[in-house]
Structure formats: structure tokens, C-alpha cells
Amino acid sequence: MDAIWQQLPQQLINGLTLGGVYALIAIGYSMVYGILNMLNFAHGEVYMIGGFAGWWTLRLLSQNGVPILHPLAVISLIIVVAMGVSGLLGMLIERIAYRPLRRAPRINLLLSALGVSIFLQNLVLNYQGAKVRFFHIGGLIPDSLQVIRIGPVVFSFMRVLVIVICLTLMAALTLVIKRTRLGKAMRATAQDVEAAAYMGIDVDRIIVVVFLIGSALGGVAGALVGLLFTQVDYYMGFQAGLKGFTAAVLGGIGNIGGAMLGGLLLGLIESLAVSFFSATYKDVVTFIILILVLIFRPWGLMGEKQPEKV
Amino acid sequence: MPADTSFSTTTSPRVWLNWLVFAAILLALPVIMPNSYWLRIYALTGIYVMLALGLNVVAGFAGLLDLAYVAFFGIGAYTFALLSSSQFNLHLPFWLALPIAAVVTMACGFVLGSTSIRLKGDYLAIVTLAFAQIFKLLLLNLDQPINITGGVNGIYNFDVIAFGPWQLFSPQAYAYLIWGAACLIIIGSFRIKRSRYGRGWEAIREDELAAAAMGVNTVWMKLMAFAGGAFVAGGAGAIFASFQDSVFPNNFDFPQLVVVYCMVILGGLGNIVGVIGGAVLLTVLPELLREYGAWRMMTYGLILVLLMALRPRGLFSHIPFLTRRRARPDKAVGNRLQASTDLYYADAQPERTLTPATADGQAGRELLFLQNVSRHFGGIAAVTDLNFKLYQGEILSIIGPNGAGKTTLFNLISGIYAPSSGAIIFNGRDISRDRPHQVNRAGIARTFQNLRVFPDMSIIENVAVGRFGRTQAGPLSILLRLPRHRREESDTLQRARRILSLFGARLTGYRHHQRASALSYANRRRLEIARALATDPKILLLDEPSAGMNPQETIEITRFIRQLRDRFGLTILLIEHKLNLVREISDRVIVMDYGRRIAGGSYAEVACNPRVIDAYLGKQRG
């Protein structure tokens, strides 16, 4: 038992990093769900492609494992490219696969999303192969920062960076939603698409923006995971998508603050499950949480229970 | 009049002929297959046909997005593998292991269903996906601490199928066995689709709430869909395991699920022939295009997206000679063009058809009693401390301005909402906690203000759904066409026809087979009343029955409502805004405003009550 308690601070740090990533993914689910009431199955794949975009950027900017620019510039570029690629991809998906179905039954929309997800996953499989791609981050962080030791807790600079980036992005998003004209339009559309349209809001544009932002955040998450765990593969989006969705549901789907909270919470739970339970079944723990929340509190921790309309 | 094939419980000679041709082809194919490779594909196609038809029950008939479906396939296969191999040295014979595997899987389907069945569309999908992931993780990891599933290596080397002295292992024999099983599933699919179960599922898929209000036990029916689909998947899994002589976790992974979904969607959700076609197409085509193997899954993804955008009802929908022709809406029997309003007046008096409900009680008895009923939504009190009695054989109207809580009141009585406090006593029993289908079966039927007919079902099927709660045939009875099922089906059809004939020619003849979505607004109102009548109610709750009707039609519906009471002994509770109608037929009127009862009595009394005038016209100043 003592060994486990000693590990605790370490696991908390790990959980926080992982949670930040989950939160970024969860935000994309929640934003789309808030407006279209649909589960964007393809979101996990957008995240995966963000990871690949990051990997590709790093490879372009490195020679023999050494970055050709200042490390901070490289990391910034990785993030910008991942955001751009994923954001555009999200917009494209909305345009092609979801917009034609806006009036169709929900099951059709969901199946279309499933189709996009399979398509993207296998597209990457066909072009990149099934093998894992490595991020050579050795040159990005000076040796003195590779391992930071505070008491018994050991962590890399990369973890700090990931946490900082996640929190910054979440804060920025909160500002956009709470303080800007665009944010107001987004909130209005989320409450009632039709009424928003009658008030002169270009709902189609808002939906595109929502996909852009949500997917860009998902893409960053992919790139950050690449930097953190130094590898990406075509299949990573499936699990991460489920985790992100779990986080979104845990916090209360449609609620962006909830998505952030849910993500951080899920990351912590998962890290603790690894130390107290077993690494083999850590995903089982996540899925059981998902199932329990959906069955007993489907509106999540921060969402509101809504009566069924008749 | 076209035959009511959707209610038929016998097989017509034409259908027999189709079956014979189909069977002959199935028997001939293994003989003429060029080599064992294609024989294998042929057998595999049969397994996919079964799998796709099982999924068609869950996703097609009942409209449930079950993403754990392939896990059930896996449960069946692994159960068989454990029972019929050296893994635990059980070595059960095939004919015993197969049904056990199917039943175990069905039980798993039932359990999974009961945990998650109340979840709506997307949530159900994600929960089942989570279950599928847990299943896969278990398959992969349960080789320790004791070896159950064999981990990545799976389980292999099963006992040879033996029936007495015969051993069955040649590819031909497997092909016949598999397609024999597939034929059973095909026949079963057709039978269940054209039964009260099939109609119940379709109703749930189209409008779950309306289905519940018409007496369909939606939770139970969805569970049955889950369990039925799991049963088929489990059986198919066991046969697949025996055929492949091994099972691996990869056989039951997400891509497999996608393939089966593509088959069902390509064929059209719920379309049996289409789904069979989809399964055949998507098993054979990839084999023909083998060198493009890497692109297969990508193509499946693309197929899903394109189908949903372009042909959401499947590849085979709306192809003239493949789909049943529906009668032209504007042409009646004899091909004469006519307008529907002419038809009504040309028709004779409606026959006396419904059994009077007064048999079990004298008029004037207290039938429904609302005791201090309140309902609030968050801070909003929609109904507050409502008290009233409804007497047998009376017509009581509820009026009041918009937002007065009238429709909420109906939702409370019919079990859609539970009251926050108070009791609703029907026939001496408190029904305030009953679910909608229970309220309906107790004898209270309703219509909806915002029209909730089942748009894609035919008119006669819409009414037949109303019989769901009054019929009992279970799956076995339906699959084996036992006498009870036959009797109930013909009874359902007759009653539905008779009830529809109450509306003159407006809803009869060629209209029986029209989709409800083709009906005019007023006719949909009539159809809703017909559907409610089919549930044999004692009390009928009508929510704005004359909305959307012209003055002539309003007079007609007024008469009709009175007839329901006078001739058929129904007790009627009515919400209506057209005060002429209310004055015409009400014995008593209750006026509501802001969720409270503000007046009650005869129409004349409430009409000059100052509080009512205030509520309708606003307070006079000064």
C-alpha cells in the first residue's frame, strides 16, 4: 500500500496531463452536441489526424532528429498546423456528411458520422500504414528539462507544457464564448437553432465555426499526445474518441465547462485506476463510468435535467 | 380492394412458388460452385445473411442503434467454443451447444438491453459501443489468471458436428447447414415483421411516445428486439465458430460491426429482401475485388456516408418492380378520379360496430377522479391543485387560454408525466404512477394536439397498432403461426376496417394502404381518433380534435364525437378552442387558467362567469 501512496502525486500529475487532453477532445463533442444534438463519431479521427499533422510538421522541421528552428517555434508550428488541418477537416466533414442530413432522422446522422470515422481511419491506414509513427522530440527539450524532479515526483517539461497549453486554450475558448459577439451567437444557436435564425444569426455559419473550433481543439489534443507519448498511429482516434465522449458526458454534454471538468476528472480517475487497480483494465474502468453516468445521470455533473417535450 | 397482405397469416401460392425457386437455387449452388474457395464464400454469405437479418430486427425494425451487436456474435461463438472443445473438456455435441450458445447470447442481450434501453438514440449507441469494447478487452485478457478465452490466440479445434453416426464436415454439408439456418431466419423475419410485434416496433421507431400512448409497452418491446437480435447473432456465432473451426477476438471487432451495418443499411433498414441482398452483395463483391483489399474498409465508410445522404432507405428502395405498388391516392375503386370530401357524403350511415362500453357500469358513475393534482417543471407550476370528477357517459370539455395547462393535464392523465403531487383515480384505482401503455390498457386512450400518427405506416396499420395492447400473441406464437396469432391477426384487421368505416369513405377503400403522411391535416386527426378507438377505451381524451378543420368538417366531427358517446357509450374528455363545438356537445365545462381551475359547470354558467371573461379577454381597467 505504501508504494501506492508514494506514487500518488506522480499519478496526479499524469492524470492532470491526460485529463487536459481529454478535456480538449470533450469540448469538441460537447460543442457539436450542444448545437446539432448529434454525436460526432468522427471527432476521434479528427484528433488522430491532428496527431499526424503534428508528426508531419515535426518531421519537416527536423534534420536527423535535430530541429532546424528554435524549439519553441517548432512546437508552436506543430500546434498551429495541427489546429489548422483538423479545423479544416472538421468543416469539410460538416459540409459533406452532416449538412445534407440536417433534417433527416437522428439515426441517419449517426450512421453517416460512423461512416466518416471509418473512412478517415482507413484513409490514414492506407497512406501511412499500420505502423506507429514516432515523434523525435529529443531535440526539442534541453536535456536539463527532460526530467524535472520535485521531491518524489518526477515529470518531464513536456507534461508541464501540455498542461499549460490545455489550460490556455480552454481559457481562451471560455473568453470567446462568454465575451464576444460570436460567442453570444453560438450560445443562442445552442439554445434554439430556429429562434437564433429568426433573430438574424447565420446559423449555418455558426455551425461551421463550431466545427472549426471543436475540431481544431481536437487536433491540438492529438498533437499534444504525440509530443507527450512520442507516437501516433491510425487507430489512436477510436479509443481517444470514446474517452473524450465519456468526459463530455461525465461533465454534462452540451456544457463546455462540464466538458473541461469531465476531461480533467476522467484523466485523474484513469491514472488512479492504473495505480490502485490494474493497467490492463483501466479502459474498462472508463467504460463502466461512461455506462453508469449515462444510465443514472445522463445529464452529467454540470448539465441540467430537461423534461421530455411532448 | 388490394388484399391485406400485411395481415395475412397464410402463404399464398405465389409466395410458395417464390420460395420453391429460392430453395432450388440454394440447393443447386453448392453443387455448381467451381471450387472449394467459392463454396466457402457461399457458406460465409449465409452466415452474413443471418447476422444482417438479426441486426435488422434491432436496428431496422425497432430502430435501436446497437453497436454491441457483433459482441453478441462473439458471445455466441465463444460460448460454443467453450462448450464444444477441449478448452474445458466439455465436448457437448453440436445440436446441444448451438441452442445453448444462442440462448446464452439472448440472455446477455436481455441483460445489456435492460441496463441501457431507456437511453435515447445516441446514448444507446455509445453505451453499447462501450459494452462492445469491454467485451473485446475481456476476450483479449481473460487468458489470465485462468485461461478462459485463450487471449489473442483464441480457441480452436472444435468437435466435428455429428448427428448420430453421420459426421458433418465437408464444405458442401456446411453450406447446406448454414443456408438451412439462414432460411429459418429469413422466414422468421418475414413472419415477425407482419405481426403485432413488427407493427409495435415500427410504431416505436416512428414515434415512441405515441406508441406508448397506444398501449405498446415500449421498454419491453425494445428488450425483445435486443434479445431477438442477440439470439440470431448468437446462433450465427456458434455456426460460424464451428465453420471456421476457431475463434479469435479479431473476428468480433469493430470493423466486423461496420460491415454488418453496411449490409443492413445498403439493403434498407427494415427491408428484409433488401438486407439479404445487401449481405450477399457485400460478401461477394469484396471477394471479386480482392486485390483492392486495403481499400475495402475505406469504401465501407464511404458507402455509409453516401447512402445516408443519397439513399437513406437503402439501395433497393423505390425501384418500381421491387417495391409493392401503392394505390393512387386520387383514384378510388374502379379507377374513377374523386375528391375525398365527395366520398364522405356519398357514403351510407356508418355501421354500428364498436362494443358499447356501458356494459360494465351504469351512466353517471364516477369514472375518473383527479385529486389535488399538481405538476411543476422546475419553478414553473403547469398544473396546480386540480380537482375534478369525470362521470361515466359524459362529455366534459376543458377550455382555457393558451398555456393554461390543458395539454399538461392530458399528459398527466395519460401517464406521460407523473404528477408532482396528488392522485388520479380511474375506476377506483390510482393510476398516477402508471406508465402510458398501462394507462391505455386500463382503458384511457388519447389523441395528440400536435398530431402524432405514425407517418410511414399505412392507415390500416396505424389503427392496428391500437390493437397492440388488446392482443397477446408472443414471439413463438407468431413464428409458428399458432392459432392464437392467426385469430388475433384477422380480428385486428376486421376491427381496424370497421373503425375506419366509421368515418365514411374518408379513410376507407384505397386509403387503407396509403401512408399516414399522405393524409390531410383533418384526416390525420380522424386517424388519430380511429387509432385511439382501436384500443377499446372507456375514456377518450381528445386534444383539440377540430383544429385544422373547416367549418363544415367541424360540424361533422362534433356530431361524430357525440355519436361516440351516444351510440358507443364512451366517456369523453375534450380540450378545444372552438367554443361553438364546446357549447354544442359538452355536458359540463371546466375552465383553466395558469394551471388552476377557475370555473366549472354548464357552458352557459361558465360563459358568463366574470373570471372566465377576464381570463379570455383580460381584466377590464378601471
The pLDDT tens digits for B339-386 are 444 444 444 444 444 554 444 445 678 999 999 999 998 888 999 999
pLDDT, tens digit, 9 for 90 and up, residues A87-109: 999 999 999 999 999 888 777 88
Nearest by CB to A114, from B119, B131, B304: name it: B304
> Do the Cβ atoms of B297 and A121 come within 8 Å?
yes
- B466-481 tens-digit pLDDT: 999 999 999 999 999 9
The pLDDT of A68-81, averaged and rounded, is: 90
| Arithmetic mean of pLDDT, B102-124 | 88
- Cβ contact B297–A238 (<8 Å): no
Residue with cell 376496417: B497
Contact residues on chain B for A110, CB-CB shorter than 8 A: 65, 121-122, 125
A235 in B contact zone (CB under 8 Å): no
ipTM of the complex: 0.85
The helix, strand and coil proportions of chain A, stated in percent and rounded to the nearest 5, come to 75, 5, 20
Q: Can you tell me the distance from the alpha carbon of B338 to that of A33, in angstroms, rounded to the nearest whole number?
A: 48
Mean pLDDT computed over B268-273: 91
Q: Does residue B180 register a pLDDT over 90?
A: yes
Q: B220 Cβ partners below 8 Å, 6+ apart?
A: none
> Residue B230 in contact with residue B109, Cβ under 8 Å?
yes
Round to whole Å and give the CA distance between B276 and B363: 56
What pLDDT does B1 receive?
37
Contacts of A118 in chain B (CB under 8 A): 255, 258, 297-298, 300-301, 304
pLDDT tens digits for range A179-205 = 999 999 999 999 888 999 999 999 999
Between B38 and A281, name the one with better pLDDT.
B38
Residue B290 has pLDDT above 80, yes or no: no
Specify whether the CB–CB gap between B76 and B105 falls below 8 A. yes
Q: B168 has which bridge partners? A: B161
What's the rounded mean pLDDT across residues B202-214?
A: 94
Residue A110 and residue B123: Cβ atoms within 8 Å? no
Chain A closest CA to B255's CA: distance in Å? 8
* B426: β partners: B368, B429
Q: Which residues contact B331 (CB under 8 A, 6 or more apart)?
A: B337, B338, B510
Whether the per-residue pLDDT at B115 is higher than 70: the answer is yes
- H or E, element range at A241: helix A236-251
**Residue B294 binned pLDDT confidence (cut-offs 50, 70, 90):** low
Burial B133-164 (b: 16+ CB within 10 A, else e): bbbbbbbbbeeeeeebbbbeebbbebbebeee
Is residue A284 less than 8 Å (CB to CB) from chain B? Answer: yes
pLDDT of residue B352: 46
Q: Which of B63, B116, B129 is closest, CB to CB, to A295?
A: B116
The C-alpha atoms of residue B271 and residue B60 are separated, in whole angstroms, by 8
Out of A51-55, B607-611, B614-618, the most confident range is A51-55
Whether residue B301 and residue A119 make contact (CB cut-off 8 A), yes or no, is yes
| Partners of residue B141 in chain A, C-beta under 8 Å | 280-281
Give the one of B126, B141, B258 whose C-beta lies nearest to A245's C-beta: B126
Among B431, B429, B436, B430, CA closest to B415: B436
Which of A262-266, B20-24, B87-91, B440-444 comes out lowest in average pLDDT?
B87-91
Q: Tell me if B424 sits within 8 A of B478, measured CB to CB.
A: no
Mean pLDDT of A121-140: 84
Secondary structure (3-state) at B166:
strand
Q: Is the CB of residue B63 less than 8 Å from the CB of residue B204?
A: yes
Nearest-Cα distance to chain A for B409, in Å, is 12
Judged by CB atoms closer than 8 Å, whether chains meet at B300 and A108 is answered as no
pLDDT confidence of residue B349: 45
Q: What is the mean pLDDT of chain A?
A: 88
Average pLDDT of the segment spanning B535-544:
95
Q: Name the B residues in 95-114 with CB < 8 Å from any A CB.
A: none
User: Of the candidates B102, B97, B385, which has an alpha carbon nearest to the alpha carbon of residue B232?
Assistant: B102
With CA atoms as reference, the chain B residue closest to A113 would be: B305
B131 touches chain A (CB under 8 A): yes
Residues of A in contact with B543 (CB under 8 A): none
- Calpha distance A216→B319 (Å, rounded): 43
Q: What is the mean pLDDT of chain B?
A: 88
Inter-residue contact B52 to B268 (CB < 8 Å): no
Least confident of A17-31, A211-225, A247-261: A247-261
The residue-averaged pLDDT of B244-267 equals 91
CA nearest to A123 within chain B: B298
Q: Is A97 on the interface with B (CB under 8 A)?
A: yes
Tell me the three state secondary structure of residue B590: strand
Amino acid letter, B325: R
CB A74 within 8 A of CB A140: yes
Question: Are A39 and B308 a contacting pair at CB < 8 A?
Answer: no
Select from B126, B254, B308 the Cβ nearest to the Cβ of A111. Answer: B308
Q: A96 and B305 in contact by Cβ < 8 A?
A: yes
B471 vs A84, B409, B435, CA distance in Å? 59, 29, 18
Interface of B with A in 159-218 (CB under 8 A): 209
Q: Which of B279, B237, B246, B247 is nearest to B262 (CA)?
A: B279
The C-alpha cell that represents B456 in the structure block = 410511414
pLDDT of the residue at B351: 46
Q: How confident is the model at residue A55 (pLDDT cuts 50, 70, 90)?
A: very high
- Distance of alpha carbon B514 from alpha carbon B113, whole angstroms: 34
Q: Given B131, B137, B303, which is nearest A281 (Cβ)?
A: B137
Is residue B567 classed as helix, strand or coil in its secondary structure? Answer: helix
Say what the pLDDT of residue B350 is.
45
Q: Which residue of A has its CA nearest to B255?
A: A118
Name the percent of chain B lying above pLDDT 90: 61
Quick one: closest CA in B to A285, which residue? B134
Q: Name the band, by pLDDT with cuts 50, 70 and 90, for residue A307.
A: low
Question: Mean pLDDT over residues A43-66, rounded?
Answer: 91
Q: How many residues does chain A have?
A: 310
Q: Which residue has the cell 409495435?
A: B200
The beta-strand segments (E) located in A5-132 are: 62-63, 66-67
CB contact under 8 A, A119 and B302: yes
Measure CB to CB from residue B416 to each of A126, A295, A310 and give the nearest one: A310
pLDDT at B324: 53
Contacts of A122 in chain B (CB under 8 A): 295, 297-298, 301
Please indicate if any CB of chain A lies within 8 Å of the CB of B130.
yes
With CA atoms as reference, report the closest residue to B353 among B557, B542, B564. Answer: B564
